[in-house]
Chain A
Amino acid sequence: MRKDVFQGTLGALIAFTVLAGICVLLAVNWASLGLFLTAFLAVLGLLSAAYLFRMVGRAATGNAPFFRDMPFGVAFGYVLAAVLVVFGVWYFFQPTDTDGVPRAGVIFFRWAVQGFLIFAVAAFLFRLLGRSVGTEGSRKLFRSMPLTAAFGILIILIYAVVSIFAGVIAPYGQEEILGAANIVPGGNPAIGGNPDYPLGTDQIGRDILSRLIFGAQNTVGIAFVTTCLAFLLGGTLGFLAATLGGWLDQLLSRMVDALMAIPALIFALLLITIATAWAGSASWQVTIYMILIIAVIDSTRVFRLSRAVGQNIVVMDYIEAAKLRGEGLPYLIFREMLPNAYAPLLAEFGLRFCFVFLTIASLSFLGVGIQPPLADWGTMVRDLSQFINFAAFAPNVAVAPLLAAGAIALLTVAVNFVVDWMLHKSSGLKE
């Protein structure tokens, strides 16, 4: 009885969702009826292909356990993956233009696949290198590392080198206005490129490659400084609250609770408005305010974590022993607590850096973060965003804004991959 009720409810729910979806689609556009029918037939075809695949597999292998115990969903997954791979390969080898008109979809798909493959191979080689070179400890670390984490570490290293040596690597200065504006990326003179400027120039003739490289220095550097400040503030106060307890702990915790009830980006915007209205809005001032404001806002999150971690450590016997030995507060915090709170704090540092970095990029994108003439990725995306509308007939032009946005995404993805691996490793989870 209950089984029937359950299955009936589930079925009704699914049917209702599908019907609602169809109604919404039709409400949007009657022309999507054809699209919907095609999709329906495609799904039906895939379902029957999956059934057929499993049946043929059972017959061909004499009912081998692999096929015998295969749920229908898994069979469907295999067929779907196969279809996607075949379609991808077919689409990849389509001609890039028809009668001189570029097919932007194919071109973008090729770039995406090539980029993906290059990164995958680079990460694999990097992991191989790490496994054979270095100390015993580092080699052991690389042996247990998934490919995504190797990719993350590689990207972080590259960004660090580029941002430290930006002045040496970049071919031109970040504020330098060169000869021609709006040179197309790609360096192909036939479509308006110039080999001197491999990624083209922007509307007022600044080299995009140089600005991207200096952007690494400015954006990543500022985000790093801000995160360090947030950790200094939040970490110190958090450990103090955990060690001393009492009214200090209560006061700080309630303050942090109140501050955390306001969404971070909104609060940052409010404070930046006030700061600029109050003390002038020269570009370097705005940048300093932004660093301080974001550091304070993010330090509340760091405070929460370091207080929680600290409270767990403070009740340990070795802290009791150190207290009985008559050690002072600095010794307790730096020599006893900090080494034991290392792993969660390091993971938090990675995540916090991502948040700060994204907040700064968003603020710059909104025009209240890092100010021109400093090159910055968020500002570059906003300035170049109009080019994206040319994608259909000039794919190269549309790349410019995506490059800066992609540079932001690549770093945060890389950091997240590494943090994910570290958390997985330290938690010892198998599933």
Chain B
Amino acid sequence: MQRLLLGLVTLFVVSIIIFVAVNALPGDFAEAILGQGATPEAVNAIREQLGLNQNAVTRYFSWLAGAIRGDLGVPLSQALFAGNFGTTAVGTDVTTVVDQIIPRLKNTLFLAGVSAAISVPLAVTLGVLTALYRNTAFDKSMNVTTLSAISSPEFFIAYILILFLAVLNPVFPSLSNIFPGMEFSERLTRTMLPALTLTLAVTAQMMRMTRAAIINLLASPYIEMARLKGLSPMRVIVKHALPNALAPIITVIALNLAFLVTGVVVVEVVFVYPGIGQLFVDSVKIRDIPVVQACCLIFAAVYILLNLTADILSIISNPRLRHPK
């Protein structure tokens, strides 16, 4: 309960930070966007559109209330359009920020889900195997491979995968142009390359943590006992060490899932995947502040939510924390 409250407070503070970062600029924001040659009418229209003629606290709370209701305002491109023609965009049939974000958020969650479905079982299996065969050639080569995978930029992994799985051996398409109403299998095929890229990026971290968490426990007396009972090494690790190592493993999995949702930006750009990361980068380039602000809030919310989940799950998985004295 306390943790939930703390998470909510963090989210609240983060929303303030994002708002202040956007709004605390000296000078008028409307003029900054429109540049030198702006007509007074256009500046006024933008001001009215963004509610810039009210004071900052009022604006913050109306923005926050809107965000909770699911109303994140109108993209600047629309507002600009309206501003140039001297009308306000409210009331006419414009695409709001939410209209832009929702379908793309669904796509991004699909991509993250597919990569999680591949990477989590893979990482835990490999982690157990490297812990079992530690300090062998297998373990050392896995160590070098994962270190390289962690430290390579995502676009390098992405282009290597494109080279081998799309260009040289055309297994998957290199462009992930998915659209609504697509067959599931087709959608999965087109999502496969970005999903594999993300898998490579996150599996290594999770695997190394799993290995480290298990090996940390191997010096414990109860592991010694299990060995002395004559249990096989595999059984000692899977049955006796793994359940006790669950808390750090769950934490690192949740952290990496958070990375999946936020780290999609580069991958989506490489594969032209129509997700929220792509929208974010495009908006950054044309400086569409309302969209950037909204995307940022969503990313931060997902990030905080997953961190919170990690906290709660690691408490649940540990009886000593579940029943504090």
Contact of A27 (CB < 8 Å), options: B18, B188, B239: B188
Q: B296 contacts A267, CB within 8 Å?
A: yes
Asked if A358 meets B153 with Cβ closer than 8 Å, knowing A105-B168, A270-B21, A270-B296, the reply is yes
A422 to B163, CA, bound (A): 35
B252 to chain A, nearest CB (A): 16
Q: In residues 123-170 of chain B, which contact A (Cβ within 8 Å)?
A: 132-138, 144, 147-148, 150-156, 159-160, 162-163, 167-169
Q: B284 contacts A77, CB within 8 Å?
A: no
A270 to B283, CA, bound (A): 10
Q: B280 contacts A413, CB within 8 Å?
A: no
Chain B residues positioned under 8 Å from A1 (CB to CB): none
Chain B residues positioned under 8 Å from A274 (CB to CB): 21-22, 25, 289
Chain A residues positioned under 8 Å from B155 (CB to CB): 362, 365, 378, 381, 405
Decide if B14 is an interface residue (CB 8 Å cutoff): yes
A272 to B22, CA, bound (A): 11
The segment from B41-49, B63-71, B259-267 found at the interface with A is B259-267
Q: B185 contacts A405, CB within 8 Å?
A: no
Q: A388 contacts B162, CB within 8 Å?
A: yes
Asked if A412 meets B152 with Cβ closer than 8 Å, knowing A27-B184, A277-B289, A398-B167, the reply is yes
Residue with the greatest number of chain B CB neighbours at <10 A, chosen from A265, A274, A378, A416 = A274
Decide if A406 is an interface residue (CB 8 Å cutoff): yes
Decide if A321 is an interface residue (CB 8 Å cutoff): no
A172 to chain B, nearest CB (A): 25
Q: A269 contacts B284, CB within 8 Å?
A: yes
Q: A24 contacts B266, CB within 8 Å?
A: no
Asked if A277 meets B153 with Cβ closer than 8 Å, knowing A81-B137, A261-B303, A431-B215, the reply is no
Residue of A nearest to B7 (CB): A261
Residue of B nearest to A266 (CB): B299
Interface size on B, residues (CB 8 A): 76
What 1/0 flags go to B190-232 for Cβ under 8 Å of A? 0010000000000000000000000100100000000000001
Q: In residues 413-431 of chain A, which contact B (Cβ within 8 Å)?
A: 413, 415-417, 420, 431
A43 to B159, CA, bound (A): 29
Decide if A288 is an interface residue (CB 8 Å cutoff): no
B204 to chain A, nearest CB (A): 11
Decide if A67 is an interface residue (CB 8 Å cutoff): no
Decide if B315 is an interface residue (CB 8 Å cutoff): no
Decide if A236 is an interface residue (CB 8 Å cutoff): no
Chain A residues positioned under 8 Å from B269 (CB to CB): 365-366
Chain A residues positioned under 8 Å from B168 (CB to CB): 104-105, 108, 391-392
A24 to B198, CA, bound (A): 19
Residue with the greatest number of chain B CB neighbours at <10 A, chosen from A105, A269, A358 = A269
What 1/0 flags go to A77-89 for Cβ under 8 Å of B? 1000100000000
A250 to chain B, nearest CB (A): 14
Q: A409 contacts B153, CB within 8 Å?
A: yes
Contact of B151 (CB < 8 Å), options: A105, A366, A415: A415
A354 to B151, CA, bound (A): 7
Asked if A431 meets B152 with Cβ closer than 8 Å, knowing A265-B265, A266-B262, A420-B147, the reply is no
Q: B284 contacts A368, CB within 8 Å?
A: yes
Asked if A266 meets B300 with Cβ closer than 8 Å, knowing A276-B287, A278-B25, A416-B151, the reply is yes
Top 8 nearest A-B pairs by Cβ distance?
Answer: A412-B151, A405-B156, A263-B262, A409-B152, A416-B151, A391-B167, A277-B287, A258-B13
Which chain A residues have a beta carbon within 8 Å of chain B's beta carbons?
6, 10, 17, 24, 27-29, 71, 73-74, 77, 81, 104-105, 108, 148, 257-259, 261-263, 265-267, 269-274, 276-278, 354, 358, 361-362, 365-368, 378, 381, 385, 388-389, 391-392, 398, 401-402, 405-406, 408-409, 412-413, 415-417, 420, 431
6 contacts between A and B (CB under 8 A): A27-B184, A261-B10, A266-B265, A270-B18, A273-B283, A365-B153
